[in-house]
Amino acid sequence: MKIVVIGGTGLIGSKLVKKLGEHGHEAVAAAPSSGVNSLTGEGLADALKGASVVVDVTNSPSWEDAAVLKFFETSTRNLLDYGAAAGVGHHIALSVVGTERLLESGFFRAKLAQESLIKASSIPYTIIRATQFFEFVKPIADLSTEGNKVRLPPVLFQPMAADDVASAIGRVAMSSPVNGTVEIGGPEQFRLDEAVRRDLAARKDPRQVISDPSARYYGIKVSERSLVPNDDARLGETRFEDWLNQSAKQAPKAGRQSA
Ligand SMILES: NC(=O)c1ccc[n+]([C@@H]2O[C@H](COP(=O)([O-])OP(=O)(O)OC[C@H]3O[C@@H](n4cnc5c(N)ncnc54)[C@H](OP(=O)(O)O)[C@@H]3O)[C@@H](O)[C@H]2O)c1
């Protein structure tokens, strides 16, 4: 089966392409560096020729409100238009758990616009909403840092390994479209401030994490369950503690550098 992964050079995309290849599929990593640009349409017709499945794991280079909306709207329209012309039978896109609860942010308004376009298109689809990746915990800390302090609300948080995200997408790509949304998440729930505290401690990062119910997540006011998936979410296997230990071994000098 030919599966085109748009954003196939990114964190999730590169893991997904590798996994699909290991399962014997023709997995094509499409990205601007390989001459495929979902924003301009460049290279899309050729890349999608003979494709059964398209997986969209792109991200916008800019998260500024207007830029990110333009990216996800234009890119998604192009993928759906070129996909329909090529006879693609399954369009899969990666979105975020709780998107409709996070609309104070332009990024999530753009993700919701992406989801709406997919739902309205003629191509059978599956939207996969994932919780935050373990790899994203440190960037969350960086964005909430003032001086030596990281202020975060103690809301529920159920992050997952990027590797498990890619495995879950791979399983969806090898299955029939659900024409709906599936949620995926990590195997354990934490409090957001606690998870960030553990991440920084594992990196020997000296910043102090302060639990502050009035602090925002990415500039967004969140409540107890804003970030966690429904009870029927498919859960990854990797535990945060194991991933932290593994990452610490791989990058013993990881410190305060930005994401
Ligand atoms: N971070 C989280 O915790 C989280 C949680 C749930 C869902 N998600 C979603 O997961 C998705 C993927 O995230 P990621 O971290 O894997 O992203 P990433 O590492 O930033 O990768 C983004 C990919 O998009 C490609 N891309 C950018 N502009 C493009 C264009 N015009 N045409 C085609 N490809 C383009 C990039 O190509 P180049 O390599 O050439 O730049 C790269 O391959 C995002 O949509 C995000 O919303 C993230």
- Tell me if 175 sits within 8 A of 23, measured CB to CB: no
Q: pTM to 2 decimals? A: 0.96
pLDDT tens column, 222-242? 999 999 999 999 999 999 999
28-49 pLDDT, tens digit per residue, is: 999 999 999 999 999 999 999 9
**Among the listed residues 151, 166, 139, 155, the one whose alpha carbon sits nearest the alpha carbon of residue 212:** 151
Sheet with 149-152: strands ordered across: 145-146, 149-152, 208-211
Count of beta carbons in the 10 Å neighbourhood of residue 148: 9
Residue 210 and residue 150 in contact, taking contact as beta carbons nearer than 8 Å: yes
**190-216 pLDDT, tens per residue?**
999 999 999 999 999 999 999 999 999
Beta strand spans in 73-175 (E): 90-96, 125-130, 145-146, 149-152, 156-157
Each residue's pLDDT tens digit, 67-86:
999 999 999 999 999 999 99
Is the C-alpha dihedral spanning 201, 206, 210, 215 positive or negative?
Answer: negative
Label residue 252 by pLDDT band (50, 70, 90). low
Which residues surround ligand 1 with Cβ inside 6 Å?
6-7, 9-13, 31-33, 36-39, 57-59, 61, 94, 96, 111, 130, 132-133, 136
| Cα 53 off chain centre by | 18
* Mutation to probe ligand 1, out of 14, 57, 75 (largest number of atoms < 8 A from CB): 57
> What dihedral angle (degrees, nearest 10) is formed by the CA atoms of 102, 103, 104, 107?
90
How many residues make up the chain in this entry? 259
CA 94 to ligand 1 center in whole angstroms? 9
Write down the residue that tokens 């349409």 correspond to.
41
C-alpha dihedral sign at 11, 12, 15, 17: negative
- What confidence tier does 250 reach under pLDDT thresholds 50, 70, 90? confident
Instruction: Please report, rounded to a whole number, the percentage of residues in the chain having pLDDT higher than 70.
Output: 97
